[in-house]
Amino acid sequence: MSSFDVVEVALGSAVAQSGTIVIDYPENRYSGSYVGYGHKIYAEGLQRHFTQDGGEISVAFTTSITITYNGATSIPANTAVMVELNRAGDDRADILAGLPGGVTPMLPYLIDLGTPDMLDAGGICEAQSDTGAHDLTINGDLASGGVVVLDVPRNVIADSGGADTAVLTVYGEDVYGQPMAESITLNGSTAVPGKKAFKKITRVAASATISNGAFLGTGDVIGLPVFLPYNTAGLVIGDFENGTFDASLDGTLTAGVQTTPTATTGDVRGTYDPGATLDGATAIQLAVFLADPTYKGVNQYAG
pLDDT of residue 231: 72
pLDDT in tens, 215-238: 999 999 999 999 998 776 667 888
Rounded Cα–Cα distance for residues 40 and 67 (Å): 10
pLDDT in tens, 45-94: 787 889 988 889 999 989 999 999 998 889 999 999 999 998 865 555 45
**Phi, psi of 187, rounded to the nearest 5 degrees:** -125, 60
Burial of 10 (0-12, 13-18, 19+ CB in 10 A): exposed
> Could you say which of 71, 93, 115 is where a domain stops?
93
Residues 58 and 132 in one domain: no
pLDDT of residue 159: 98
Res. 276: pLDDT tops 70:
yes
Give domain status of residue 143, yes or no. Answer: yes
pLDDT of residue 259: 82
Give domain status of residue 78, yes or no. Answer: yes
pLDDT band at 23 (very low <50, low <70, confident <90, very high): very high
CATH number at 180 reads: 2.60.120.1300
- For the chain, how many structural domains are there in total? 2
Domain that holds residue 114: 106-303
Residues 86 and 128 in one domain: no
pLDDT in tens, 88-139: 655 554 555 566 666 666 788 999 999 999 999 999 999 999 999 999 999 9
Give domain status of residue 185, yes or no. Answer: yes
Give domain status of residue 100, yes or no. Answer: no
Rounded Cα–Cα distance for residues 286 and 179 (Å): 26
Residues 82 and 112 in one domain: no
Rounded Cα–Cα distance for residues 206 and 216 (Å): 12
pLDDT of residue 192: 99
pTM above 0.75, yes or no: yes
Residues 47 and 121 in one domain: no
Contacts of 54 (CB under 8 A, 6+ apart): 298, 299
**Phi, psi of 31, rounded to the nearest 5 degrees:** -60, -35
